Structure formats: C-alpha cells, structure tokens
Chain A
Amino acid sequence: DIQMTQSLASLSASLEEVVTITCQASQDIGYWFAWYQQKPGKSPQLLIHSATSLADGIPSRFSGSRSGTQFSLKISRLQVEDTGIYYCLQRYSTPFTFGSGTKLEIK
C-alpha cells in the first residue's frame, strides 16, 4: 500500500501569514493527488486536484505544488475561515490512501 505522510499533525499561524502543509508519498504517484479541507461535523471539501489544479470555487490564495513524491499546499494569506483539518489523498493505486491530516488553527 502507498503511505501518505503528513508529518505535521497541527499547525498554528497568524492571520495573513503564509502557510505551507506538506504530504509525502511512499512512492511515485504522478499527479493522482488531491488536497481536502474538513471542518468539524462536515464532509471533506476538495481544494486542489491533480496536485496543482485549483478546484472550482476555491479561493486563489490556495495553491498546490509537487516535487517528485513531495506535495505541498500553500495558503498565501491565512484567513479565519481556513481553519480545519487538511488531508491529502493518493488516487494512484488501490487501496487509495489519505494522509493522517494536519489541523490548522489561528494564533
């Protein structure tokens, strides 16, 4: 199985700050990769797909990048509504696997 490692379990940052969340795949997964945001009691929401493409309706302050098997989600100017848990997903091969999540809070 492909392991998706989000090394940061939690992150606290100030409003307007630049935030980067990372996810490492245990093997090459190409661009079969996505980022999701989940708020308490809600279903996950797609933010970034294909590693770098912004999902419909998602603010442009979110961006994704890929360097080999390392993936990053960048929030350029942190807003209050960006709090939540961020998960990565590999959809390259079954079983599809998620990272363990990074909880983002405002300082």
Chain B
Amino acid sequence: QKEVEQNSGPLSVPEGAIASLNCTYSDRGSQSFFWYRQYSGKSPELIMFIYSNGDKEDGRFTAQLNKASQYVSLLIRDSQPSDSATYLCAVNLFAGGGADGLTFGKGTHLIIQP
C-alpha cells in the first residue's frame, strides 16, 4: 500500500515569509517526486519535480528530497497571497513515468496572510 502523508493544515504564513511544506512517503522504491498546486475547484498544476537527493531550486520554489528519510519538502520564498492554495505532494514508483499513476497526499492548505 503506497502512502503519501501531508499535514492538511491550514498553514498560515505572513506575506513575504518562507512557507515550508512537508511530505513523507511509505514506499522506499519511489523514484520521482512532485509538488502540485491546486486552487479550489481547479485541477492540479505542476510546481516542481525532483528525482535526486538534495535541493532543487526554481525561482521562489525549492524542493528538497531525502530518500533515506523518505521525506520531501517544498519551500516557497517571499510568499505572495497568490500562493494561497492546496499543495499536493505526489510520488511515482517509476523514474521514467508513464507506467504508473501518481500517488497523492491529501494536500496542505496554505494561506498567505497579506
């Protein structure tokens, strides 16, 4: 049984601060890791993906992966009100993808306070 765990929140962060979102997964064989953002009533949109241990930065976003601890996180710097959404952590067993659907966590509801 593949499981992806996230704190549902809400996580409230003041505008301009760093938002830190965390995720743990149960299947040690997982190869690829994704963070999706989902606004209410909309489908998810990809923020970042990461395959290797360490940090990966893209603009204001940094994904961090620690396979030994089965832990992946997303940092959002200089948080903006438009970042307020539910952030879904997703895991795939296959590095190449395609053969297996993603397993999603329940998502963390992030609120950026102006």
Q: Do A and B bind each other?
A: no
